[in-house]
Amino acid sequence: LFQLFEDQPLFWSAWDIDPYALETGRDLVRSESFEIVERGPVRVAAEVVKKFGASHIRQRISLGPTPGIRFDTEIEWHEENQLLKVAFPVNVHSSRATFDIQFGNVERPTHQNTSWDLARFEVCAHKWVDLSEGDQGVALINDCKYGHDVVGNVMRLTLLRAPKAPDPICDMGRHRFTYVLLPHFGGVAYGGVVAAGYAVNTPLRHASLAPHRGVDGALPMLAACDDRNVVVETVKRSEDGRAIIVRLYECHNSRGRAELSCARPIRRAALCDLEENELAELEIVEGGVRFAYKPFEILTILLDI
């Protein structure tokens, strides 16, 4: 459900959203058209067009082999002092929601019982926000939007604003973005929300290669970890050019031991700090690097291959 709000803060209009703005919303219920554009064996898709003010929305809603309902959205935006959100009322009861941040996540209340809760009417998150109860939940994943609010059982994502100062044409024009509504069993960890967030933001890409004879069997990943609590965030050449750096982090507030494997034989492995200064040698067992991790810990591992 798209919602449009009056957005005229008292000060700093390009930076601030005043809380009373969220009391001025109207639902954009009417559609210009709704059409089934794909009905195949593995995917079905519908396209909806909405017009309001001087703007219009064209959105493709699809359900396919990947988890969740996908919303590929194109908006021609030409409003003044307006705020556009998309809202999802969900059948989930929880007093706290989980928000993705850099190298981890944070929980925030879904109620406004206190003045400081009320002041957090708009909060930042990166790839996703999740609302879960005991055995199920819903995640709202996006590929480029950062403003969210979750009050009660309503999850909202801020899509566009239209401030007029200091830039009078801020955000005007055409925008393309994607968000995915992902129902799941269990909480964030069991539901695979972190992996789904990465799948939306770093999709599989293809490239054309020169003809060759190919290889036998599956191609191994450059670097992989056997523990779903650990995310391989970065694989890069070391700053001195002599080794490979793998940066990982623990994403589910847990601790344990894991093993890092590489597509090439590993001669030596070391734990480093973020500046790639070596701290300790790591054990290599049957070609894999074994290491311990703590809740939300960021780890940098140097591989000599």
- Please report the domains of the chain, with CATH numbers, ordered by start residue: 2-201 (2.70.98.30), 223-304 (2.60.40.1180)
DSSP secondary structure of 217-245 = SPPPPSEEES-TTEEEEEEEE-TTSSSEE
Question: What is the model's pLDDT at position 167?
Answer: 95
Helix ranges (DSSP H) in 75-167: 115-119
> Which tokens hold the place of 27?
């639902």
- What pLDDT is recorded for position 111? 95
pLDDT value of position 265: 92
Buried b (16+ CB within 10 A) or exposed e, 69-85: ebbbbebebebeebbbb
Q: Which residue has the tokens 């998309």?
A: 86
Evaluated on CA atoms 185, 187, 192, 198, the torsion sign reads positive
Residues pairing with 82 in the sheet = 6
Q: Give the Cα-Cα-Cα angle 267, 268, 269 (nearest 5 degrees).
A: 140
Q: Please name the residue ranges forming H helices in the chain.
A: 115-119, 193-201
Rounded to an integer, what distance in angstroms lies between the CA atom of residue 234 and that of residue 245? 8
Alpha-carbon torsion, ordered 123, 296, 143, 167, to 10 deg: 40
Q: Are strands 223-225 and 256-262 parallel, antiparallel or unpaired?
A: antiparallel
pLDDT at residue 217, as a whole number: 59
Q: What is the pLDDT of residue 218?
A: 60
Predicted confidence at residue 210, as pLDDT, reads 82
* Strands across the sheet containing 147-151: 26-27, 2-6, 82-89, 154-161, 147-151, 123-124
User: Left if phi > 0, otherwise alpha if psi is -120 to 50, otherwise beta: which for 4?
Assistant: beta
pLDDT value for 207 = 82
Query: Is residue 6 within 8 Å of residue 19, measured between CB atoms?
Result: no
Q: What is the pLDDT of residues 154-172, one digit of tens each?
A: 999 999 999 999 999 999 9
Q: What pTM, to 2 d.p., does this model score?
A: 0.93
Residue 113: its pLDDT value, please?
93
Please identify which residue in the block is written with the tokens 């069993």. 185
Residues 285 and 267: their CA atoms lie apart, in Å, by 11
- d(C-alpha 249, C-alpha 292), whole Å: 11
Q: Tell me the sheet residues that pair with 1.
A: none
Conformational region of residue 243, where left means phi above 0, alpha means psi within -120 to 50, and beta covers everything else: beta
Residues of the chain with pLDDT under 50: none
Give the C-alpha separation, 147 to 21, whole Å: 14
